[in-house]
A and B are shown apart, each in its own frame.
Chain A
């Protein structure tokens, strides 16, 4: 079944929220982010890894996250992404919006979220 525009919009919004939430705790690099998304959603969010980097670059361009090359001893050079102030505000409002959205769904359709 092909995805509807609503599906795509939800997925895009949720992907950004997830990324913001993941880098909120500590800076992470791209591969780590993709693995965490896969693990923490039990695979229900089929966010294609190929879409990850375009999303990261878009969010970086909007100032929500900031990338920095880090070279640690014994490791390859990796680009780590951390949350900016604007990203923190966005995360807070996105959480609020999603909470309101699910509360509405709950009232209207009796849908409970995890």
Chain B
């Protein structure tokens, strides 16, 4: 097997992929189900980029599950991290109950 540069865990369900080598603007990434994505900004090792447009408020999906929601619209190829994603859980600041809506439990 040759060294890969990104990992797209659950093709067709995840809307992010993870860089396992640093990616640069202009890099073309080929993804199962999605096709070709052009990287729009530097993505550091271990960091995520969007594989499709993610609307503000929409789930960010990795491992086939929601890992939070976009707090503003995200373009394909854009860095996805704490500046544009918020987790829904453990949010004492929002004073939600532990039985958050739609999260099971």
A binds B: no
